[in-house]
Structure 1
Amino acid sequence: MESKNVVFSGGGGGGLDNEGFVGEEPSCEKTINSTPAETNPTDEEEDAPDRQTWSSPLEFLLSCIAMSVGIGNFYRFPYVAYTNGGGAFLIPYLIVLFFIGKPIYFLELALGQFCSFGQVKVWEAVPIMRGVGYGSTLASFCVVSYYVSVMALTVFYFFASFQKNLPWTVCDPEWNVDCADNSTSYAEIYFEKTVLQILPDISSGIGTPTWELTLCYLFSWLAVFFSIIKGVASSGKVAYFTAIYPYIVLIVLLITGATKEGASDGMWYFIKPQWDKILEAKVWYSAVSQCFFSLSTGFGPIIMYASYNPFRHNVYRDAMIVSLIDTGTSLLAGFTVFSILGNLAHETGAKIENVAKSGPGLVFVSYADAIGKFDQVPQLFSTLFFLMLFSLGVGSAVSWQMAVITVICDQFPKLKKLHVTMATCGACFLLGLIYVTPGGQQVLTLVDNFSGNFVIYILATLEVMAISWVYGLSNIVTDFEFMLGQKIGIYWKFCWGFFVPVFLFLILIYSLVTMETVEYNGVPLPGRAIAAGWVLASCCLIFVPIFAFIEIFKNSNEKLTLLEKVKSSLTASSLWGPKSPKERALWENYVIENKSKSKKGSCFKRKK
């Protein structure tokens, strides 16, 4: 068989040219320095894994972009930025992105691709930490259920935009308010009374689901379901729209907004630096929160997406591209939002800080109000805008839901993926009906705080510590160098081995010390609701000690002491490694050769 050398060069660019998409995984000779230029089809079939693969590298890249660039980039980043120092916030944010966001993103992509497993089975590397995978899966399940409810709001506004007059620009007698009172905008009243039918207090209950939002919620879940009905084969095709269309609309809206009066004041307000805030710990905490929320690190979808890659795909390149695009999109969204808000402030005579709402209110109140004041075809801009938000939501929701499905299918491979997809989407829909009740926004705030932020900090910290300090930095670097065909630089080693775990641990301590009462619209949530939030967080975290206990005591060898069983559960299992038998043989040879060169003892420990 004809072969050619693979050079494990230091630093820089690409991996192997033959990336082997659609199951065309490159076959290898069982010597460390050779891969075949041509393969025998029969050999490929024998060596091909059962796991589905992406149809093309572009679909994988676009899916990662659609996953990371979500609705939060549009409403969360602009608000977090201007409330935490404006342009000055970009300094801690970019530092956090460079030393935490990118390293974790690359680590998770490489982990998933190396072993071709989802976020639970990837812990064959450190079996005692398997609970981290289950905890992140439950967190993803919780987050996707409320995230789709936000998509339902975009559907509601999308269809409302087809009316002759945008309904949030005129006073509705059913609101029972003084229409001459300008202290509260019609857009805000419409959002609270017509769309959410919000309850000011949930102490006495959250009410029943509203039929309008329930239909929008069902529509959103159907969109997610049909996007993933054939796994990555269908979600990859959807990504062409969900990853590209939003940028077309963003650019159109930015050009439109930038040409209006007051736009420059709005954009300057967005980036105006408040240098004194850089030294505040809260600003750095906000930078880490935004980075995690934006890139979707710690939840599991990144590992899941990469697990459907061919083993030799250049995932290093994709990690760089996605992290840069995600940051660029956040900035683009910030300029787009504040150019329009600047015009709104100019038209109403109000200050920009008074028209810029926090959270979803930024897009469903402030931005909707601004679009409603456009002189020409506001309905067109409104439909384009809310369709863009919906497409952003689909891209992210698909990734979270597929992460849950992949875990179940990995654990129970005999189950049909279609049945698992139907069951999980149906369960999420039923549980998520709580978010389309009059008290749903308060519940959403609670779940987001405890399962979307607090829990993920802990799980991400444990993830990086376990991989770098338990499995071993030298081991994981050796694995990735073999897979990518290039050396892992000192920057990655420093971040994985020291900076990320230490910094995340400090941030975790800070978040616990400074934790404040959860509020919605300035009103503290009831004590019972806070207690329920802690129960939810505990349910996600309890998986860690439970599965650690199971892993330690499932060893039936009575000759082993407790300490020996603990050590055994800290050692990579026989399932860890490349899924392809030929790649696995080549990997084991590479590890042995690497060991003999280093002369520092074995860098590869695996249960027999």
Structure 2
Amino acid sequence: MPAAMNKSNGYHNEAFEMHPESQVQDTKSIENGLSKTDEPVKDADGRDTWSSGLEFLMACISLSVGLGNIWRFPFTAYENGGGAFVIPYIIVLIIIGKPLYYLEMTIGQFASRSSVKIWKACPLLKGVGIGQLFGTVSVISYYSSLIALTLYYFGVSFQAVLPWSTCLDEWMPNCIDSSPSNNTSFQPGTLSSSELYFLRVVLREKYDISDGIGYPSWQLAICLAASWVVILLIIMRGVKSTGKASYFLALFPYVVMIALLIRAVTLDGAVDGIIYFLKPNWNELLNPKVWYSATTQLFFSLSVCMGSVVMFASYNNFSHNIYRDAMIVTTLDTFTSLLAGTTIFGILGNLAYNLNTTDISTVVRSGTGLAFISYPDAIAKFDVVPQLFSVLFFFMLFVLGTGSLVALQTTVVTVICDQFEFKFWKVATVSIVLGFCAGLVYVTPGGQWILNLVDYYGGTFVPFALAIVEIGGIMWIYGLDQFCKDVEFMTKRHVTPYWRICWAVLTPGLLIVIFVYSMVNYSPVTYSNNLYPDIAYVFGWLIIGLAFLQVPIWGGLNVWRNWTGGLIESIKKTIQPTELWGPRDSSSRAEWMKFKKDYFSERERIIEEKQHNIFMQKINMLFGRYR
């Protein structure tokens, strides 16, 4: 019997399953596997499910449509030339974003397990799921500080005059009021009062952290604590409470975003900014840096390869229409990013108009604070009750950030509870306290320096690199044809060549090319064009190293557990799915095995009848012709 055959559950493991000669033995193995699945396969503590499919959809929208769209997408586009960034972003969405999102949704729903336990499909790669948690925890650590900033701005918006709308005396003469009433003359190097307020009052930002990052701001620390309390109240009852909150978390922000867009496009000079955002620079399409930035932004926005998508989908009913939801969420996410980008660049166009310059790329300092500069600047220009709209806007940002952080935090808690069978609320409470402590680092004068560092190494680099291993493990080890048949059984729809070609070739191929480019052209990350102290780079690489080491550590441990007397044979055994892999429900599991048995028998018959060689088998499996 070929080494790729699993006697317990009876299906192939190798990429494209290129061993038709073993089909007779496959059938016997499947029959043996059927006899072992009389009882449901489930965790000892059971598993909650969404109250309705709509709850799941709203939860996914609140996860993917968040600060990544409103905060990160505009400044990433700004740093990469506006329109030069949009086209690569949309292309990457089609080739990488949608395939990865649909992949994670389907495997989560199919297995009804967390991002770590789905690797029962290939125990050798269990470390991928654990390594992705390092990326998730990295994002969680600073995401709460962004929510704290939104709460701070929400609080000060109740003042009679928005505090960032006018310049303080100590900022003159290099300051221009964000409020349009007193703008009479402008000088080169002038900054808006919104930018100076954010940097000097809110952040008290340091221009050098070689002597340390300073102490936390007590105002921001209070806001940070309040944000974590809200997160705890939402997630402490698990998916039941998260689902109920998702309706508001997903829908409310669009009301405010659309109103802000209407205001932004009516500002003087807004058209120039929007043109800068949407007009493509064809020469930049050949710049690999733009493609890398587009891909990493897509990962952050959709939250793929962080475990959250798998986790949410794992609470679905097995027969849920996951295809529809994947298409809705990925499309809506991109629409929201473009909506936010149009709003931001409309505001930047207005800033350029006020500063008497035509160079949109120089009107404001780029970076993580862009959304906390440009949006408040636009709100200050409202003629009627800007305070009311400011309150609504920053409450919207708070809601967006909360929706995403709820999902990320629940991912970590779910993995821990699935692995160790702890009480959900206890793990949630402990993780919230640890999250608050970690978040204090980011509300210091040097906090934005650390945020930029952790985002680059932990929130960007780790998920990106492990995505290659994830899709490669599923498509090239577990097997493309194998996985597609799992999807077809669950969704009752044929997997088209678009998905097959992307999953097997285009998506991993483009990811590898972009990753290799980023490594070859690596240069130390900077903040506002300033280098970090050497110890900071050591810390960044430590995050990456700890995440990547999980793959060989857990892979080696599972090989040792499955040791059969030889390294090669032990590895072959470790890439086999375990008996727990597959649908958890016993009736669905039995139907699934019969479905695959019938398919393998028919595929073998076609191969023998048409005498397909190995190459033709691969081509036919790639295009899904064995049906």
Which residues in structure 2 correspond to 1:553-568 (within 5 Å)? 553-555=560-562, 559-568=564-573
Given the alignment of the two structures, is residue 212 of structure 1 paired with residue 219 of structure 2, yes or no? yes
Offset of residue 427 of structure 1: 1.2
CA contact (8 A) 2:264 2:343 kept: yes
Find 1:372's aligned residue among 376, 380, 387: 380
Offset of residue 185 of structure 1: 2.5
Find 2:156's aligned residue among 160, 184, 189: 160
Q: SS in structure 2 opposite 1:90? A: helix
Structure 1 window deviating more from structure 2 (201-210 vs 336-345): it is 336-345
CA contact (8 A) 1:125 1:471 kept: yes
For 2:575, the equivalent position in structure 1 comes to 570
Offset of residue 594 of structure 1: 1.1
For 2:110, the equivalent position in structure 1 comes to 114
Letter in 2 for 1:298: C
Aligned-partner Cα distance in 2 for 1:332–1:550: 47
CA contact (8 A) 1:357 1:366 kept: no
Structure 1 window deviating more from structure 2 (335-344 vs 315-324): it is 335-344
For 1:422, the equivalent position in structure 2 comes to 429
Aligned-partner Cα distance in 1 for 2:220–2:156: 12
Structure 1 window deviating more from structure 2 (282-291 vs 153-162): it is 282-291
CA contact (8 A) 1:341 1:367 kept: no
Aligned-partner Cα distance in 2 for 1:353–1:383: 29
Structure 1 window deviating more from structure 2 (568-577 vs 187-196): it is 187-196
Aligned-partner Cα distance in 1 for 2:361–2:601: 63
Any idea what the Cα deviations from partners look like across 1:533-588, whole Å, max 9, x if unmatched?
11111111111110011000013x6x532211111111111111001111111111
Letter in 2 for 1:394: T
Which residues in structure 2 correspond to 1:231-246 (within 5 Å)? 231-246=238-253
For 1:94, the equivalent position in structure 2 comes to 90
Any idea what the Cα deviations from partners look like across 1:447-503, whole Å, max 9, x if unmatched?
101011111111100000000000011111111111111111111110111111111
CA contact (8 A) 1:357 1:365 kept: no
For 1:143, the equivalent position in structure 2 comes to 139
CA contact (8 A) 2:175 2:193 kept: no
Any idea what the Cα deviations from partners look like across 1:277-326, whole Å, max 9, x if unmatched?
11222222222122112111111100000000011111011111111101
Aligned-partner Cα distance in 2 for 1:515–1:69: 30
CA contact (8 A) 2:61 2:329 kept: yes
CA contact (8 A) 1:47 1:581 kept: no
Q: SS in structure 2 opposite 1:407? A: helix
Aligned-partner Cα distance in 2 for 1:202–1:359: 17
For 2:347, the equivalent position in structure 1 comes to 340
Structure 1 window deviating more from structure 2 (282-291 vs 545-554): it is 282-291
Which residues in structure 2 correspond to 1:78-477 (within 5 Å)? 78-172=74-168, 176-178=170-172, 182=176, 183-351=190-358, 352-413=360-421, 415-477=422-484
CA contact (8 A) 1:128 1:570 kept: yes
Aligned-partner Cα distance in 2 for 1:111–1:509: 27
CA contact (8 A) 2:87 2:280 kept: no
Structure 1 window deviating more from structure 2 (268-277 vs 490-499): it is 268-277
Aligned-partner Cα distance in 1 for 2:262–2:164: 24
Any idea what the Cα deviations from partners look like across 1:392-418, whole Å, max 9, x if unmatched?
1011111111110110011012x1111
Aligned-partner Cα distance in 1 for 2:597–2:525: 53
Offset of residue 168 of structure 1: 1.3
For 1:517, the equivalent position in structure 2 comes to 524
Letter in 1 for 2:130: Y
CA contact (8 A) 2:344 2:374 kept: no
For 1:24, the equivalent position in structure 2 comes to none
Where in structure 2 are there 5+ consecutive unaligned residues?
1-29, 32-38, 177-189, 609-616, 619-627
CA contact (8 A) 1:47 1:582 kept: no
Offset of residue 108 of structure 1: 0.2
Offset of residue 192 of structure 1: 1.5
Letter in 1 for 2:460: N
Any idea what the Cα deviations from partners look like across 1:365-385, whole Å, max 9, x if unmatched?
222123223222111221121
Aligned-partner Cα distance in 2 for 1:404–1:180: 46
Offset of residue 184 of structure 1: 2.7
1:317–1:180: structure 2 CA closer, same or farther, 3 Å change rule? closer
Q: SS in structure 2 opposite 1:103? A: helix
Letter in 2 for 1:170: T
Letter in 2 for 1:265: D
Q: SS in structure 1 opposite 2:384? A: coil
Find 1:65's aligned residue among 61, 66, 71: 61
Q: SS in structure 2 opposite 1:542? A: helix
CA contact (8 A) 2:265 2:346 kept: yes
The alignment's C-alpha RMSD in Å is 2.4
Aligned-partner Cα distance in 2 for 1:230–1:98: 36
Paired residues, what number?
558
Aligned-partner Cα distance in 2 for 1:81–1:143: 20
Offset of residue 170 of structure 1: 3.0
For 1:20, the equivalent position in structure 2 comes to none
Letter in 2 for 1:582: S
The TM-score with structure 2 as length reference comes to: 0.85
Any idea what the Cα deviations from partners look like across 1:144-197, whole Å, max 9, x if unmatched?
120111111111111111111111123446xx5445655232222211221111
Any idea what the Cα deviations from partners look like across 1:112-157, whole Å, max 9, x if unmatched?
0001001000000010100010011121112112011111111111
Q: Moved runs in structure 1, 4+ residues, more than 4 A?
A: 46-49, 179-182, 600-603
Any idea what the Cα deviations from partners look like across 1:321-374, whole Å, max 9, x if unmatched?
111101111111111222233333334434433334423322212221232232
Q: SS in structure 2 opposite 1:168? A: coil
1:189–1:81: structure 2 CA closer, same or farther, 3 Å change rule? closer
Provide the identity percentage.
47
CA contact (8 A) 1:110 1:306 kept: yes
Aligned-partner Cα distance in 2 for 1:131–1:48: 23
Aligned-partner Cα distance in 2 for 1:474–1:276: 39
Find 2:72's aligned residue among 67, 71, 76: 76
Q: SS in structure 2 opposite 1:577? A: coil
CA contact (8 A) 1:261 1:346 kept: yes
CA contact (8 A) 2:149 2:223 kept: yes
Which residues in structure 2 correspond to 1:23-34 (within 5 Å)? none
Where in structure 1 are there 5+ consecutive unaligned residues?
1-29, 32-42, 604-608
1:341–1:47: structure 2 CA closer, same or farther, 3 Å change rule? closer
Letter in 1 for 2:118: V
Offset of residue 514 of structure 1: 1.4
Aligned-partner Cα distance in 1 for 2:267–2:96: 38
Offset of residue 265 of structure 1: 2.3
Any idea what the Cα deviations from partners look like across 1:80-123, whole Å, max 9, x if unmatched?
33543533533322211111100000000000000100100000
1:470–1:203: structure 2 CA closer, same or farther, 3 Å change rule? same
CA contact (8 A) 1:130 1:547 kept: yes
Q: SS in structure 2 opposite 1:153? A: helix
Letter in 1 for 2:115: Q
Letter in 2 for 1:116: S
